[in-house]
């Protein structure tokens, strides 16, 4: 895939502490285009930022300005989210396809090796990608996610059946799929109802890409199909095997009042996942805050993320690898 003219519409995003130039990322895909935002010099350390389910790349708007200015950050809107095109009619939204989206993006960017910061669902995509392409990832930061989300075997096939039925039912209701128009106050109210952890300012930031203005008000940009049951699940054995394939250093930032306070995994699952990460020498950090801590209070995690990624810079990792090889000779 050739490099596409991805960086247009230069604008500035202001935070309370600083201003950072941010440009719009655009690349063509077979079903339309993928969009996102870019910060930093083209020759800076490449860092890919992956947002959570039903969010968009705006989720990183307050965090990235607090990270090193000489790094190159690309935050994408996954298909069906933000300003990216929806998947074609009849298609499902699954994790393997999100991983393929990431592969398309880094191919277009011509990145051979890079770091990933992933929030929630984006962290799960990061985990799978890092397992499938370990040679491409030099460090991973997981924000309020374990990187893998195992499903009990007994539920896996129920999910497939429900997901297929949901999709077909949705496809058959073409007449009822008219976009609902809301006032700005109403879209904000709906967004915050679905994401109670969002601050008022954070909701405004996400809405920059989550809605578009039409005659009479605003409509949501996301594809309703992202709400349908995911038909591709992995059980614990599969997740632990994928985890063992990840070669990059991993840091897991878990918010004490985050996702897993309300999203409960089956008994014993958390211990098994954390033990596996610990066996792989992952760094696990508990922080005060909620599921959107990186957006609501980025100053509480920015230095932790910077220190981790700096300690696992590509140059440092390559140097350590060469030293290890020399010591074996």
Residues recognised as catalytic: 120
Token pair 């960017």 in the structure block, residue = 109
Count of CB atoms situated within 10 Å of the CB of 5: 8
Q: Phi/psi class of residue 144: alpha, beta or left (left: φ > 0; alpha: ψ in -120 to 50)?
A: left
Q: Cα 194 to chain center, whole Å?
A: 18
Residue 160: how many CB atoms within 10 A of its CB?
15
Both tokens of 14, joined, read 């202001």
Alpha-carbon distance 47 to 184, whole Å? 33
C-alpha closest to that of 225 among 126, 122, 78: 78
Is residue 64 within 8 Å of 53, Cβ to Cβ?
A: no
Token digits of residue 153: 């075997």
Query: Which positions ≥6 away from 237 have C-beta within 8 Å?
Result: none
What is the C-alpha R_g of the chain? 20
Residue 110's alpha-carbon distances to 2, 19, 66, 103, 237, in angstroms, are 8, 28, 26, 10, 33
SS3 content of the chain, % helix, strand, coil (to 5): 45, 25, 35
DSSP string of 159-217, one letter each residue: HHHHHHHHHHHHHT-GGG-PPPPB-HHHHHHHHHHH-TT--HHHHHHHHHHHEEEETTE
């Amino acid at each position: 895939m050739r490099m596409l003219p991805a960086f247009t519409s230069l604008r500035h995003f202001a935070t309370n502490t600083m201003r950072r130039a941010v440009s719009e990322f655009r690349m063509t895909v077979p079903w339309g285009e993928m969009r996102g935002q870019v910060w930093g010099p083209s020759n800076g350390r490449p860092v890919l930022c992956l947002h959570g389910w039903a969010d968009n790349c705006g989720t990183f708007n307050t965090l990235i300005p607090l990270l090193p200015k000489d790094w190159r950050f690309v935050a994408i809107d996954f298909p069906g989210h933000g300003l990216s095109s929806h998947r074609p009619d009849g298609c499902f939204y699954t994790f393997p396809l999100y991983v393929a989206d990431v592969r398309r993006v880094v191919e277009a960017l011509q990145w051979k090796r890079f770091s990933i910061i992933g929030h929630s669902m984006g962290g799960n995509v990061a985990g799978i990608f890092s397992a499938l392409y370990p040679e491409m990832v030099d460090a991973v930061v997981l924000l309020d996610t374990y990187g893998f989300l195992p499903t009990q075997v007994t539920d896996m096939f129920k999910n497939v059946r429900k997901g297929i039925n949901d999709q077909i039912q949705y496809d058959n209701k073409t007449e009822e799929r008219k976009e609902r128009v809301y006032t700005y106050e109403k879209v904000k109210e709906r967004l915050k109802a679905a994401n109670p952890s969002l601050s008022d300012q954070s909701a405004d930031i996400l809405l920059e890409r989550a809605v578009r203005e039409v005659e009479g008000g605003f409509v949501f940009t996301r594809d309703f199909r992202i709400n349908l049951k995911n038909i591709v699940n992995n059980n614990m054995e599969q997740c632990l095997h994928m985890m063992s394939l990840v070669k990059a250093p991993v840091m897991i930032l878990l918010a004490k009042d985050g996702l897993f306070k309300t999203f409960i995994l089956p008994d014993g699952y958390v211990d098994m996942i954390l033990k596996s990460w610990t066996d792989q020498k992952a760094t696990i950090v508990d922080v005060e805050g909620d599921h959107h801590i990186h957006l609501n209070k980025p100053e509480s995690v920015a230095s932790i993320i910077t220190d981790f990624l700096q300690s696992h810079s590509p140059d440092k990792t390559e140097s350590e690898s060469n030293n290890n090889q020399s010591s074996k000779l």
